[in-house]
């Protein structure tokens, strides 16, 4: 088993990264930086119009990569793939290079003009093997079962939580239960704002097989927070 350091960035979805935040990120010596769903772009526009601005949004992530030296998962943006299909995707960037895209499979109603992805449920990067979930994909029990059967016990969840969804304490319990059931370390980075006219709140957290060990307070659901967590006990590649 090994350890991993992960930086979560709970973010106002509509605002760019400030110079002060870039300076703080430059000092974070972590392996991964997890940005929330719908950042950048904030869901301000239709999926088609947002896809036309994908290069600009990607440049925002590259600007972070100029100062932050780990791998960046950030956050969730609409784009046209090589065949011109509309996708909702998570860019994976390191050293100012686009390593890959994760095309979201479980799309929400506001994402529906996009075509669901069909790639792998787990990734290998930086000597770590992990799962990735976007939004409601965390409800996909078959995906969680597959990770468990493959002995993968680390997963990133890029999210933005509906303001009229599960209440705070129940939400924490749900993640604790998932971690316990699947023996999984779940790292959720959640943004806040009004993507597609629907209010979202930030509920970033780290859930482990023994419970939720870090979380934003209920009073911090609309606050920008940068937090690095150190996780011990990650299963190796083999």
Helical segments of the chain, H only: 19-26, 47-51, 54-65, 141-149, 168-182
What is the C-alpha to C-alpha distance for residues 173 and 80, in angstroms, rounded to an integer? 37
What is the C-alpha to C-alpha distance for residues 155 and 188, in angstroms, rounded to an integer? 9
pLDDT by residue for the chain (238 residues), tens only, comes to: 799 999 999 999 999 999 999 999 999 999 999 999 999 988 888 999 999 999 999 999 999 999 999 999 988 999 999 999 999 999 999 999 999 999 999 998 888 899 999 888 889 998 899 999 999 999 999 999 999 999 999 999 999 998 887 899 999 999 999 999 999 999 999 999 999 999 999 999 999 999 999 999 999 999 999 999 999 999 877 6
> How is the chain split among helix, strand and coil, in percent rounded to 5?
25, 35, 40
Specify the pLDDT at position 16: 92
Specify the pLDDT at position 74: 86
Domain layout of the chain by residue ranges:
2-234
Q: 125: exposed, middle or buried (C-beta count within 10 Å: 0-12, 13-18, 19+)?
A: middle
Specify the pLDDT at position 42: 87
Q: Which residue has the tokens 């690095």?
A: 228
CA distances from 125 to 32, 101, 117, 186, 217 (A): 10, 13, 20, 17, 31
Specify the pLDDT at position 238: 62
Q: Which helix (H) or strand (E) holds 164?
A: none
User: Cis peptide before 40, with omega less than 30 degrees from 0?
Assistant: yes
Specify the pLDDT at position 44: 87
CATH topology of domain 2-234: Nitrilase/N-carbamoyl-D-aminoacid amidohydrolase (3.60.110)
Single out the residue of 30, 9, 45, 25 nearest to residue 204, CA to CA. Answer: 9
Q: Give first-to-last CA distance, the chain, whole Å.
A: 10
């Amino acid at each position: 088993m090994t350890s991993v350091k992960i930086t979560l960035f709970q973010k106002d979805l509509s605002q760019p990264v400030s110079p002060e935040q870039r300076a703080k990120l430059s000092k974070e010596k972590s392996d991964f930086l997890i940005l929330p769903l719908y950042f950048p772009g904030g869901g301000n526009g239709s999926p088609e119009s947002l896809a036309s601005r994908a290069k600009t949004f990607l440049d925002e992530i590259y600007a972070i990569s100029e100062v932050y030296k780990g791998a960046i998962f950030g956050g969730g943006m609409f784009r046209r793939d090589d065949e011109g299909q509309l996708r909702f995707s998570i860019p994976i960037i390191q050293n100012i290079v686009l390593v890959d895209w994760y095309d979201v499979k479980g799309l929400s109603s506001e994402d529906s003009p996009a075509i669901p992805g069909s790639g792998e449920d787990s990734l290998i990067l930086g000597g770590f093997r992990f799962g990735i979930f976007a939004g409601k994909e965390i409800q996909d029990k078959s995906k969680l079962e597959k990770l468990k059967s493959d002995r993968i016990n680390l997963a990133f969840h890029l999210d933005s939580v509906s303001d009229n969804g599960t209440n705070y304490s129940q939400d924490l319990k749900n993640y604790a239960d998932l971690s316990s059931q699947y023996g999984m370390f779940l790292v959720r980075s959640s943004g806040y704002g009004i993507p597609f006219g629907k209010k979202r709140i930030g509920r970033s957290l780290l859930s482990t097989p023994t419970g939720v060990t870090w979380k934003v307070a209920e009073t911090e659901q609309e606050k920008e927070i940068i937090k690095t967590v150190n996780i011990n006990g990650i299963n190796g590649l083999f």
